[in-house]
Amino acid sequence: MKSKLEQYVENIVRHTESSKKEKEELYEELLIHLQISRDFLMEEEGLTPEKAEEKAMQLFGQEGEIGSQIQQALFPYRKELMLTLAISSIIFTISIYLISLFVKGDAYIGWLCISMGLSSMLLFLPLNQSFHINKKLWLNSLLVLHTLGQLYGWLITSQLDQSSTVVGLTIWVWLNIALSLGLVYRTTIYDYSSDEKHMKVLHGINITTGIIISGISLVFIVGGLIMIGKFHFIMLVLASPILIWAGLYVAQLKIAKTSTRIAFLIGMIPILACILAFLYIYFPNLFFR
């Protein structure tokens, strides 16, 4: 059974998002440091091992706070960028809602609630120190959903009549989207250790192709909504490339554990799809003669 000191160190390490190897090294370093502190307290103050452990942990600090400080040291400025994105998105959402309401009389209450909820979660995650969750998974999921919410906000913005207002809001929302996607790259790619370069490349390829495929699919879906005026079954067909890409992404991550080469070969499928889509859009004569 693990001692309180070992459990304490585990809780600290659990609040970081390093690779498995880095977590093991961090665990060993912190445990040795606290054991030295415990032994010192036993010798200098004559405390029992249990009392010395408790005082050593008390002097070191609260697990969540220490873990957050280590996380900040490992990945500087990410917390600040997350907070900036969250606050900017909240202000943008409120601004768009009020402008649409008072200028056009359209109240996008559903989008307001969803966008505010996602932005609030972006505020909560970097500030959370009370309990541990798989932050990397949650962050990326939230950032992707947040990007979709901001894209919908851009569609609302494009329907406004004031040209100067539209330009300013468009620049604002695309800065939010760019920062959101940048954080996805940073969290997924650069938070891997140097001995996992193949995973960085694999994630980089998939994220880039995913953005392209999602963007193309969303353009066709929005175009269909504009032409048809309501939801149609064809919208699900247009969204199928995103689902296929997601399935291939998951498959690559699983296969990469045993065969990196096969994983990269599967990763070529979305790349080829993006190339074909580009040729189809800009050089349709290659397909229709």
| pLDDT value at residue 179 | 93
**Phi, psi (deg, nearest 5) at residue 193:** -75, 170
Closest CA to 235 of 109, 227, 279: 227
pLDDT of residue 262: 92
The percentage of residues in the chain with a pLDDT greater than 90, rounded to a whole number, is 13
Q: How far is CA 227 from CA 166, 209, 214, 217, 221, in A?
A: 23, 27, 20, 15, 10
Closest CA to 38 of 6, 81, 74, 76: 6
Residue 61 backbone class (left: φ over 0; alpha: ψ -120 to 50; beta: rest): left
Place of tokens 């059974």: 1
The model's confidence at residue 134, banded by pLDDT at 50, 70 and 90, is low
For CA atoms 139, 142, 148, 151, give the dihedral sign. negative
Averaged pLDDT, 34-62: 84
Residue 41 near residue 216, CB atoms below 8 Å: no
CA dihedral for 193, 196, 200, 206, sign (positive or negative): negative
Top-ranked range on mean pLDDT: pick from 5-9, 112-116, 128-132: 112-116
What pLDDT is recorded for position 177? 92
How far is the C-alpha of 272 from the C-alpha of 33, rounded, in Å?
52
Angle between helices 163-185 and 78-99 (to 10 degrees): 150
pLDDT higher than 90, residue 12: no
**Is residue 1 predicted with pLDDT exceeding 70?**
no
The pLDDT tens digits of the residues spanning 50-102 come to 888 888 888 888 776 777 777 767 677 777 888 899 999 999 999 999 988 88
Q: What are the pLDDT digits (tens) for 136-171?
A: 777 788 888 898 889 888 888 887 776 677 888 889
Average pLDDT value for the chain = 81
First to last CA, the chain: 73
What value does the mean pLDDT take over residues 118-137?
A: 71
What tens digit of pLDDT does each residue of 180-204 get?
988 888 877 765 555 577 888 888 8
